Amino acid sequence: MRKPHYLMTDPAHFEVCYQINPWMDPSVWRADESACERAFAASAELRAAIEAMGAKVDMIPAEAGLPDLVFPANAATVLDGRALMARFAHPERRGEEAPFLKAFQALRDRGLLKEVAELPDGVVHEGAGDALWDKGRDLFFGGYGQRSTKEGLDAVADFFGKEVVALELATPHFYHLDTCMRPLDGGHILYYPPAFTDQALKTLRERVAPDMLIEADKADAEALCVNAVNLGETVVMAKAPPALKAKLEAKGYRLVEVDLSPFIMSGGAAFCMTLRLDVSSQPAPALAAAE
């Protein structure tokens, strides 16, 4: 059996030099003299934590002028060896599209992917950040309304031939679904309710039984802990409030915390900084829906 396989990006050119979400403030970044050094350490610590779970990590080279290239979760949506490349909403990130495409074509040429495709013209969708695969339920949860569009979710559904449950995001603080929701391998959903519209919450609670929902609070969300990497019983996330750690442990998960504060200054954390390449839709036991 192959090891789980993740993609990360060299943080050599990471900085906060523009503002496209409320987390970002270039003046705060410039005032923090240790920010670059801490970013290197944080990236290395996250990689080590993922490798300690038995996974392999491939690195994309950094490129000057593309600071958010460190968030490859936004590069593409991947399932069963097929990758659908992202198209970004903001001009500041559109320069990432060509190097990400080149990197994914190289992965295909190495036999790590079977297919690399691009979105239809004019369609905006920002990759796995707004398309969270839930293996147990055999579907994607898809975020829209802040960056990705409903047309982008339709394109994901068409390309992969899988259901996409659309969830509208209510606030620019939680601009991608991965900032406020994380399907976990045990079938639970970690989520932050205020990030969603009322209709999105209704949809989610109709799809997921109450005992499978783990509610994050304001402190958890502001620490970007919902933006986590999960393999089996292990959850890797930014430094977490004790109450969230207790909630996860009560559900059978083991928490590994990493200081990701430099990347949180840009609005990203563990999930954003990675992309799993070996996501599979192989059948899993069905999970009960809410009554």
pTM above 0.85?
yes
Catalytic residue among 180, 188, 225, 272: 272
* 125 part of the active site: no
The confidence score (pLDDT) of residue 288 equals 41
Between strands 76-79 and 82-85, the pairing is antiparallel
* 272 part of the active site: yes
| Whether the Cβ atoms of residue 268 and residue 1 lie closer than 8 Å to each other | no
Report how far residue 217's alpha carbon sits from residue 207's, in angstroms, rounded to the nearest whole number: 21
Altogether, the residues listed in the chain come to a count of 291
| Whether the Cβ atoms of residue 116 and residue 104 lie closer than 8 Å to each other | yes
Q: Where are the domains of the chain?
A: 5-276
The confidence score (pLDDT) of residue 2 equals 80
Fold of 5-276: L-arginine/glycine Amidinotransferase; Chain A (3.75.10)
Sign of the Cα pseudo-torsion (77, 81, 82, 88, in order): positive
What is the mean predicted confidence (pLDDT) over 272-279?
Answer: 98
Catalytic residue among 13, 125, 176, 188: 176
Q: Please write the tens of the pLDDT for every residue from 99-137.
A: 999 999 999 999 999 999 999 999 999 999 999 999 999
Q: Please write the tens of the pLDDT for every residue from 172-205.
A: 999 999 999 999 999 999 999 999 999 999 999 9
Give the residue ranges of DSSP H helices in 72-120: 91-94, 97-109
Closest CA to 60 of 267, 270, 236, 273: 273
Q: Please write the tens of the pLDDT for every residue from 244-272.
A: 999 999 999 999 999 999 999 999 999 99
| Whether the Cβ atoms of residue 39 and residue 266 lie closer than 8 Å to each other | no
**Looking at the predicted structure, is the pLDDT value of residue 219 above 50?**
yes
Q: Please write the tens of the pLDDT for every residue from 148-179.
A: 999 999 999 999 999 999 999 999 999 999 99
| Whether the Cβ atoms of residue 134 and residue 167 lie closer than 8 Å to each other | no
Q: How sure is the predictor about 44, in pLDDT bands with cuts at 50, 70 and 90? A: very high
The confidence score (pLDDT) of residue 285 equals 45
Give per-residue burial for 129-166: e unless 16+ CB within 10 Å, then b: bbbbbbbbbebbbbbbbbbbbeebbbbbbebbebebbb
| Whether the Cβ atoms of residue 184 and residue 253 lie closer than 8 Å to each other | yes
Q: How sure is the predictor about 283, in pLDDT bands with cuts at 50, 70 and 90? A: low
Beta-strand ranges (E) seen in the chain are 5-9, 56-60, 76-79, 82-85, 115-117, 131-134, 139-144, 163-168, 181-183, 189-191, 213-215, 229-231, 234-238, 254-258, 275-276
Number of Cβ within a 10 Å radius of residue 114: 10
Q: What percentage of the chain exceeds 70 in pLDDT?
A: 97
